Amino acid sequence: MHLDIEFKTEKIPSVNHTYSMGKNGVFKEKEVSCFQRELSVFANIQAQKQKARFFKGEQLEVALTFSVKNMRRDLDNMLKPVLDALQGIVFKNDCQIMRLTCIKKESKKAYELVYISVSEWNP
């Protein structure tokens, strides 16, 4: 089983800007919540079309390519918002990921893009 997702967005959020302190405690920033909700919906549609879901505890291999406008952004900080958006939609839990490959490249477009490839891990 294999799943490929190509998700276009205005900006891929960073884990550094995910949470803020308010007078009622910690809250998730609106920009991150919107990104994750949109990616979750899109991933759900793609998983249905491709008949690919990983809910039986399969060990997974995930490859992510981030196409970003600002190459100074840290690659590792973009991972968590994306993986959290896929959890419960594409796979049951991100602890299933045994191998994670990430690439960052410059976007020449007016948008940013994250390409996601998920498959069963075969060591």
Here the CATH number for the domain that contains residue 12 is: 3.30.1330.70
**Structure confidence at residue 18 (pLDDT):** 66
Neighbour-count burial for 97-114, b at 16+ CB within 10 Å, e otherwise: beeeeeebeebeeeebbb
The pTM (predicted TM-score) of the whole model is 0.89
User: Which structural domain range is residue 104 located in?
Assistant: 2-120
State the total domains in the chain.
1
3-class DSSP state of 29: coil
Structure tokens at 94: 């991100």
Query: What confidence score (pLDDT) does residue 108 get?
Result: 93
Per-residue pLDDT of 12-53, as tens digits, reads: 998 767 655 666 765 567 788 899 999 999 999 999 999 999
The rounded Cα 88 to chain-centroid distance in angstroms is 12
Window from 7-11, 22-26, 51-55, 100-104 with minimum mean pLDDT:
22-26
